Amino acid sequence: MSNICYLVVPCYNEEDALPKSAPVFLEKMQKLIKQGKISEKSKIMLIDDGSKDKTWAIIEDLHKQDPIFTGLKLSRNCGHEKALYGGLIYAKDKCDFTISLDADLQDDVSVLPNFIEEYAKGAEIVFGCRKERKQDSILKKIPALCFYKLTHFMGLNVVYNHADYRLISKNALNVLEQYREVNLFLRAVVSDLGFKTAYVYYKRDARIAGETKYSFLKLFALACEAITSFSIYPIRVISLLGLIIAGLSLLMFAYYFMAKFLGHSPVPGYASIICSIWFLGGLQLLSIGVIGEYIGKTYLETKRRPRYVIEKTLE
């Protein structure tokens, strides 16, 4: 008997892209069902992450036209990661595995059979990874490269050139549900699950319509979220800087003491004093900011507020 697959697609203000991408998803799923690779009970789940346009109305129309389309409407915009997580958890008891991808057709749906083949071989998690970034502009390529380098440097287990195009089995989804933190970074969480993994490489295309939701500032915010959610490395860096500065201070104290003892007391300079004050003041503010970020996350976690609220469902 074929496995039930749920295609999980988060949508935020995708009224331009969804009418073009939905028929492509439908055609591919029907083909997979016809080939016997997935069950006839498989679905395409579209998640409206608090869109301000006609995204939900389009999802409702798609559901009326074909019941293979199901929908979740969140009460407000919770962010891509939480919306995707909500869809995965909602689908986990209805399917054997999920495949998540974006609504803009940048993720190549022609490699969906490759994901299913790797699952059939025993992989519980299959990561979709970009082959290259030749088509990206410098303004997009450099921030993305910095994002992966920074997260790896901070000790995060993030798959290079992987976004959210992935297959997750029912077993892995059951474990994923046990991760209760409010500050969620799925790319690292899924890599941390520990199941057998595989990789599918594909060419990422340009958006079929609309604008990208990941600007430089959002990528930077995502990197900060990832690092502070999964690593205490920044706090250790602050401790290391404190030790280094303390050591330099002792060396300078020894230098001035010896100079005074030998009768060569240096004349204090205005520039050196101001630079030292500014440097130490900036370092202290930065340290307070990093520590405050962790305290803030702890505060949010202790309140245990829901990560998302499902307003409506289409089944």
pLDDT tens digits, 123-173: 999 999 888 766 666 666 666 677 777 666 666 777 777 888 999 999 999
Tell me, what CATH number does 147's domain have?
3.90.550.10
What is the mean predicted confidence (pLDDT) over 73-93? 90
Q: Tell how strand 97-100 and strand 125-130 pair up.
A: unpaired
- Tell me the β-bridge partners of 45: 8, 70
Is 249 inside any structural domain? Answer: no
Predicted pLDDT at 79: 83
The answer as to whether 175 is a domain residue is yes
At residue 179 the predicted structure's pLDDT band, cuts being 50, 70 and 90, is confident
Q: Is the dihedral of CA 142, 147, 151, 154 positive or negative?
A: positive
Residues 6+ apart with CB under 8 A from 199: 126, 127, 128, 129, 159
Report the pLDDT averaged over residues 177-181.
84
**pLDDT at 206 exceeding the cut of 70:** no
Interval 260-275: pLDDT, tens: 666 665 556 545 675 6
Nearest to 76 by CA among 44, 45, 46, 47: 47
**pLDDT recorded at residue 205:** 73
What mean pLDDT comes out for the span 69-92? 91
Q: Could you list the residue range(s) of the whole structural domain that residue 108 is in?
A: 5-231+305-314
119 domain residue, yes or no: yes
Q: Please report the pLDDT score of residue 31 as a whole number.
A: 94
The model's pLDDT over 182-200, given as tens digits with 9 standing for 90+, comes to 777 788 788 888 889 999 9
Q: Tens of pLDDT along 232-259?
A: 677 777 777 776 776 666 676 666 667 6
pLDDT in tens, 271-304: 567 567 767 776 777 777 777 777 777 766 676 7
Confirm whether 237 is domain-assigned: no
**pTM as predicted:** 0.76
The torsion angles phi and psi of 120, rounded to 5 degrees, stand at: -65, -25
State mean pLDDT over 78-99. 91
What pLDDT is stored for residue 287 in this prediction? 76
- pLDDT at site 264: 62
Number of folded domains that form the chain: 1
| Radius of gyration of the chain measured on its C-alpha atoms | 25
Residue 171 is assigned to a structural domain of this protein = yes
**Residues 50-85: b if buried by 16+ CB within 10 A, e if exposed:** bbebbbbebbbebbeeeebbbbbbbeebbbbbbbbb
Residue 288, in any domain of the structure: no
Contact (CB, 8 A) for 291 and 238:
yes
- For the chain, how far is it from start to end, CA to CA, in angstroms? 23
DSSP string, the chain: -PBPEEEEEEESS-TTTHHHHHHHHHHHHHHHHHTTSB-TT-EEEEEE-S-SSSHHHHHHHHHHH-TTEEEEEESS---HHHHHHHHHHHHTTT-SEEEE--TTS-S-GGGHHHHHHHHHTT-SEEEEEES--TTS-HHHHHHHHHHHHHHHHTT----TTEEEEEEEEHHHHHHHTT---SS--HHHHHHTS---EEEEEEPPPPPSSS--S--HHHHHHHHHHHHHHH--HHHHHHHHHHHHHHHHHHHHHHHHHHHHHTT-PPPP-HHHHHHHHHHHHHHHHHHHHHHHHHHHHHHHHHHT--S--EEEEE-
Mean pLDDT of 198-227: 69
User: What whole-number percentage of the chain has pLDDT above 70?
Assistant: 70
Within-domain flag for 191: yes
What pLDDT, on a 0 to 100 scale, did the predictor assign at position 269? 59
Place of tokens 């891509």: 80
Question: Given pLDDT bands bounded at 50, 70 and 90, which one contains residue 78?
Answer: confident
Most confident of 22-26, 137-141, 229-233: 22-26
pLDDT given at position 65: 93
Tell me, rounded to whole angstroms, the distance of Cα 235 from its chain centroid: 22
